[in-house]
Amino acid sequence: MTRVRKGARLAHDPQAQPAPPAEAERPAHVKRVIAVASGKGGVGKSTISVNLAVALARQSLRVGLLDADVYGPSAPRMLGVDGEPGFGPEKKLIPLEAWGVKVMSIGFLVDEAAPMIWRGPMASSAARQMVHDVAWGSAAEPLDVLVVDLPPGTGDIQLTLVQKLKLDGVVIVSTPQEIALIDARRAAAMYIKTATPILGVVENMAWFVDASGARIPIFGEGGARAEAVKLGVPLLAEIPLDMALRQACDDGRPVVAAAPDSASAKVFAAMAKLLG
């Protein structure tokens, strides 16, 4: 089993029997909830979630980021933040803060190298608790936007959250190649079936700019745009393969703050204006 750090921990035993189904509701003192999803791993969903959250915060919004990717939490490393959340009033966890964003992740509660050997109900319960048992805002200072970085795919955690969490919409992330788009279609189909609004599609790794300045679409071209048209939603962003973005993630510094003039940072800023 995965060892949970001493000190801050989930308020209830995630292995307990799940609560009876209830109507989806928004976390207390949160105005809007936007989920970021993908049909498969490795398409840059967490990178987009982190930079979208920070870009929204740079627009003077109160922003939270929930890293609901229980099996592969990466927000702490990408944001360069570590620690153990404490408890506040009503025994709710107090999120850590980084780059103007309130952050909660299972990565704060377990050792970084520990494998998450949790069955679906246990992981779903943990994700649900991180939504509703965290002090995201207050009556005086409600959160404007909570960005939820979902796990890849269409499993238990995603289904639990769309049923229990009142989402204002979901952003679908894909890369241009057909194998990624196939899984993105599956993800979109799940959100359509659960009556979750799809806010738009983001194409990551859209192209690479060579030394001459030419754009080279090494993974294909136009796939995400075509999928957005089929879904009747906007293509929110085309994010290039950018050395500044990769380096910023490795350094724990969101590119929108570390290199605001980079190509990818400008795309994130424009996307935040569309979704803010």
Q: Is 141 exposed, middle or buried (0-12, 13-18, 19+ CB in 10 A)?
A: exposed
| Residue 250 scores a pLDDT above 70 | yes
In the structure, what pLDDT confidence band is assigned to residue 8 with cuts at 50, 70 and 90? low
Q: Which residue has the higher pLDDT, 115 or 126?
A: 126
What is the pTM assigned to this prediction?
Answer: 0.88
* Cβ proximity of 33 and 64 under 8 Å: no
- In terms of CATH architecture, what is 30-275? 3-Layer(aba) Sandwich (3.40)
Cα 130 to Cα 9: distance, rounded to the nearest angstrom? 10
**If residue 275 lies in a helix (H) or strand (E), which one and from where to where?**
helix 263-275
DSSP-derived secondary structure letter, 175: -
| Residues 179-188: tens digit of each pLDDT | 899 999 999 9
Residue 20 has pLDDT above 50, yes or no: no
Instruction: Specify whether the CB–CB gap between 67 and 149 falls below 8 A.
Output: yes
- Does 19 score more than 50 pLDDT? no
Q: How far apart are CA 264 and CA 269, in angstroms?
A: 9
Does the structure show a pLDDT above 50 at 21?
A: no
How does residue 237 score in pLDDT terms, banded at 50, 70 and 90? very high
Q: Is the pLDDT of residue 6 over 60?
A: no
**What are the residue ranges of helices labelled H in 172-254?**
178-193, 223-231, 243-251
261: amino acid identity, one letter: D
CA 169 to chain centre: 12
Backbone angles phi, psi at 101, to 5 degrees: -120, 135
* 222 contact partners, CB below 8 Å, separation of at least 6: 176
Residue 219 vs residue 16, higher pLDDT? 219
Give me 26's structure tokens.
């928004």
Query: Which of the two residues, 144 and 222, has the higher pLDDT score?
Result: 144
The rounded distance, in Å, linking the Cα atoms of 4 and 2 is 6
Nearest in space to 221 (alpha carbons), one of 178, 188, 185 = 178
Q: Is the pLDDT of residue 116 over 90?
A: no
pLDDT in tens, 52-94: 999 999 999 999 999 998 888 999 999 999 999 999 878 899 9
Give the mean pLDDT of the chain. 89
Q: Which residues contact 119 (CB under 8 A, 6 or more apart)?
A: none
Please report the pLDDT score of residue 7 as a whole number: 54
Structural Rg of the chain based on CA atoms? 18
